[in-house]
Structure 1
Amino acid sequence: MSFEIRRAEAKDATAACEVLRRSIAECCVLDHKNDPAILDAWLGNKTPETVASWFASPTNYSLVAVEEGVVVGVALLTAAGKLALCYLLPEVRQRGAGKALLACVEQQACSWGVKALQLHSTATGEEFFARQGYLRAGNVRSPYGVDTVFFWKQLDGTVCDASKPKRFCGCN
């Protein structure tokens, strides 16, 4: 389990887009229930051009997880403290890449002075975020027709203490 976590670059957009599309289509069946209308709506903005624009935005902090030269995960934090993306290729789930991405996102949020992170989780990701200390705060219907779980996490001294080495974060 050796993942490189680094800032996403424009050249990563096509591979990151593939991560998003495969993760949603293959791992989030509980959410989209193989409904073509929901999948089309959910995947509609998952194009290399759109992903590249997300990466280029100065208000976003975008990361990729790379294993043996291949992009296997992607995460995106907004300056407002929202974790907008955290997706992995199906074959690397439960191997530490998600935790590594999340640790780096949390450290970046701390460096920005963000006091709490928020996210909308799929049913598929719900237990992962709960295990990482995120608290459920209700359900929210997504614009593409999927019920999501609203989560948040207070970024306290244990998360933001830069003097403590982070087990998963090698992103700086």
Structure 2
Amino acid sequence: MQNKRGISQTFGGVPQGQRVRTATVFDVFDMSRVLIRSITELCEADHQGDPDQIAAWTANKSPEGIRQWLSGAHDLWVAELQGQICGVGAASPDGVVSVLYVDPSAVGRGVGTALLMQAEQHLREAGHHKATLDSTATARDFYLRLGWSEDCTPQVGFAKAKYPLSKVL
């Protein structure tokens, strides 16, 4: 893959049996499962196992909530490994990577990187020269390894601290 300056970027390739595609209404149950499992099982550093914080964070991650996302302005993708949905990503029209979650069973298999590359490419093609996102404590190092930079000090959110990050596309 080459960026707009023609510099090659290597991310280890897409693992065999993996693909990223546009999410559809038929995916909402699997997307909900991935989002809730990821938050509950992987984001302990953010919610410290507090059931109230987990409930607040996952409240809009139901199939019905995701149906509403699909009818909104965000572009949503799912990642599949061997035909099973194992990741969810989204970007907003204003250049924000708004969602990126991986199922615990797929961590370390390139799913998050593939979804992030999809979001970045989409935002580049939409004419954005810079992308932003609010990272969790759990995902912060992942984004920093992939060229994202911290914008300012963390902000305390409803259930977790947010780490504002950006990347020149």
Query: What TM-score does the superposition give when structure 1 sets the normalisation length?
Result: 0.86
- Aligned partner of residue 131 in structure 2, secondary structure: strand
**Matched residues in 1 for 2:19 and 2:30: separation?**
15
- CA separation in 2, counterparts of 1:52 and 1:108? 21
- Confirm whether residue 71 of structure 1 aligns to residue 108 of structure 2: no
Kindly indicate whether the alpha-carbon contact (under 8 Å) linking 2:54 and 2:159 is maintained by their aligned counterparts in 1.
no
Does the aligned pair in 2 maintain the 1:7–1:64 contact within 8 Å? yes
Identical positions, percent: 31
**Which residue is equivalent to 1:4?**
19
Read off the aligned partner of 2:29 and give its amino acid letter: T
Unaligned runs of 5+ in 1: 156-172
Report the alpha carbon displacement of residue 145 of structure 1 after superposing the two structures with TM. 2.5
Kindly report structure 1 stretches of 4+ aligned residues shifted beyond 6 Å.
none
Please give the per-residue CA displacement for 1:49-71, whole angstroms capped at 9, x wherever unaligned: 111221232x2111000112210
User: Distance in 2 between the 1:40 and 1:13 partners?
Assistant: 18
Other-structure match for 1:81: 95
- Shift of residue 94 of structure 1? 1.1
Q: Partner amino acid for 2:156?
A: R
| Equivalences for residues 7-156 of structure 1 within 5 A | 7-57=22-72, 59-137=73-151, 138-142=153-157, 144-155=158-169
**Number of aligned positions between the proteins:** 153
The question of whether the paired residues in 2 share the 8 Å contact of 1:10 and 1:56 is answered with: no
Please give the alpha-carbon distance, in whole angstroms, between the structure 2 residues aligned to 1:8 and 1:20.
Answer: 14
Structure 2 unaligned segments of length 5 or more: list them.
1-14
Helix, strand or coil at the partner of 1:80: coil
Q: Which residue of 2 aligns with 1:159?
A: none
User: Matches of 1:105 and 1:120 in 2, distance apart?
Assistant: 14
Root mean square deviation of aligned Cα:
1.0
Counterparts of 2:93 and 2:51, CA distance in 1: 33
